Amino acid sequence: MKAKKTLLAVVAAGALFLSACSGGGASGGDAGGDGGGDGGLIGVAMPTKSSERWIQDGNAVKEQLEEQGYTVDLQYAEDDIPTQVSQVENMITKGAEALIIAAIDGTTLSQVLDDAAAADIPVIAYDRLIRDSENVNYYASFDNFLVGQQQAWSVLNGLGLAELDGTAIEGAPAGPFNIELFAGSLDDNNAFFFFNGAMDVLQPLIDDGTLVVKSDQTDIEQVATLRWDGETAQSRMEDILTANYSDGTTVNAVLSPYDGISRGIISALTDAGYSVGEGWPVISGQDAEIDSVKAINSGEQFATIFKDTRELAAVAVDMAVALLNGEEPEVNNTEDYDNGVKVVPSFLLDPVIVVKDNITSVLVDSGYWTQEEIDG
């Protein structure tokens, strides 16, 4: 660590770092004590700007690191794996002291992480676990299995079968209800946690006939959506409607793992002649993206799962700063996130279900969105 910092002090002898250096932080402090405020470079790799949540994440991480005196190299790879690999390589070459990475494909970074390890650069997996590498130091995320359960609970709530915490409602309608299932991208470890969490709730109801999947597509491989792409989901939903619901039956609910996918599903339903109101299905989501919050307000989407990107950023930033100060980052899970090589120590935050009724208390009162943004 000391050698790296000395090297960094040399590399960093530019105007940018002068103020920090004159403050006495960067030059030759002990191995552990000079992480905060020394103006060191931290690389932040995000998957894509095409989804709003990653923009919020990137901005929050950058802002919070800069507040602590770090310099941030924030890069987006537009969901292109080689681009992300070369961005991370570039961060290492530029002398990054730590890397915070939200991977596009959790299995493709092994080589570049070997390079990071060789340069003694700690790596924090941001929200998505990086798989198949020894060189992932910590993982900052949400309780992703719970996210999936919450998505399923929100669907059941919309159907009148359960409370939002999953408790069964007495005297609930017997059904059967037609449901179709969507999952995320199979190269994202989270997709499995979300789907497994959701199926933990839904499978018993499919087994007892309360829920019916007319397409019969219930395996994650069948219902996955490459790169979480909304248009891919839209065309799969169109195919499902044509193949299974042309006989006058209707789909009553759609399990969707992400707001962008939900919007694709909504387009397919609208194109097929469904309209909001009687006969419009219950649709879940995730990320509280502004267009989907509006859609919840208008009744197109039933719920989303809010994961406060500001809090996640704070966890990742604290981890990076602790590591640079030679301290151990705080974790609250050392069991669940096995990346294929080791269990990565994790800090998991709690996700929150948002439905029309609590948009204001959860999203507006916390300052995540303004009422104007939601109404606009």
CB of 7 to ligand BGC, least distance (A): 34
Contact status: 62 vs ligand BGC (CB under 6 A): no
Contact status: 258 vs ligand BGC (CB under 6 A): yes
Q: Give strand pairing partners of 303.
A: 355
Q: Which residue is nearest to ligand BGC (CB)?
A: 258
In this chain, which of 5, 62, 128, 131 binds ligand BGC, going by CB under 6 A? 128
CB of 296 to ligand BGC, least distance (A): 16
CB of 79 to ligand BGC, least distance (A): 9
CB of 284 to ligand BGC, least distance (A): 12
Contact status: 228 vs ligand BGC (CB under 6 A): yes
CB of 145 to ligand BGC, least distance (A): 12
User: Given the complex with ligand BGC, which of 9 and 46 has the nearer CB atom?
Assistant: 46
In this chain, which of 105, 180, 188, 300 binds ligand BGC, going by CB under 6 A? 188
Chain length of the chain: 376
CA angle 183, 359, 346 (to 5 degrees): 50
Report yes or no: 337 and 284 within 8 Å, Cβ to Cβ: no
Stretch in the footprint of ligand BGC (CB under 6 A) among 69-77, 113-121, 161-169, 183-191: 183-191
Cα–Cα distances in angstroms (integers) from residue 275 to residues 37, 80, 181, 279, 289, in the given order: 55, 36, 20, 8, 22
Contact status: 286 vs ligand BGC (CB under 6 A): yes
Stretch in the footprint of ligand BGC (CB under 6 A) among 20-28, 85-93, 161-169, 182-190: 182-190
CB of 24 to ligand BGC, least distance (A): 40
Cα–Cα distances in angstroms (integers) from residue 303 to residues 189, 211, 292, in the given order: 23, 19, 9
Cα–Cα distances in angstroms (integers) from residue 90 to residues 95, 134, 195, in the given order: 9, 21, 34
**Cα–Cα dist 199/305, whole Å:** 16
Strand ranges inside the chain, DSSP E: 41-46, 71-76, 98-101, 123-126, 138-142, 177-181, 211-212, 253-255, 282-283, 303-306, 346-349, 352-355
Rounded to the nearest 5°, which phi and psi values hold at 248? 95, -10
Which of positions 294-323 make contact with ligand BGC (CB under 6 A)?
307
Rounded to the nearest 5°, which phi and psi values hold at 51? -115, 130
User: Given the complex with ligand BGC, which of 34 and 287 has the nearer CB atom?
Assistant: 287
Report yes or no: 300 and 281 within 8 Å, Cβ to Cβ: no
User: Given the complex with ligand BGC, which of 39 and 197 has the nearer CB atom?
Assistant: 197
**Cα–Cα dist 328/345, whole Å:** 11
Q: Which residues contact 243 (CB under 8 A, 6 or more apart)?
A: 215
CB of 132 to ligand BGC, least distance (A): 17
In this chain, which of 51, 150, 157, 262 binds ligand BGC, going by CB under 6 A? 51
User: Given the complex with ligand BGC, which of 135 and 286 has the nearer CB atom?
Assistant: 286
CB of 188 to ligand BGC, least distance (A): 5
What is the SS3 assignment for 90? helix
User: Given the complex with ligand BGC, which of 258 and 280 has the nearer CB atom?
Assistant: 258
Residues that bind ligand BGC (CB under 6 A): 51, 53, 127-128, 184, 188, 190, 228, 258, 286-287, 307
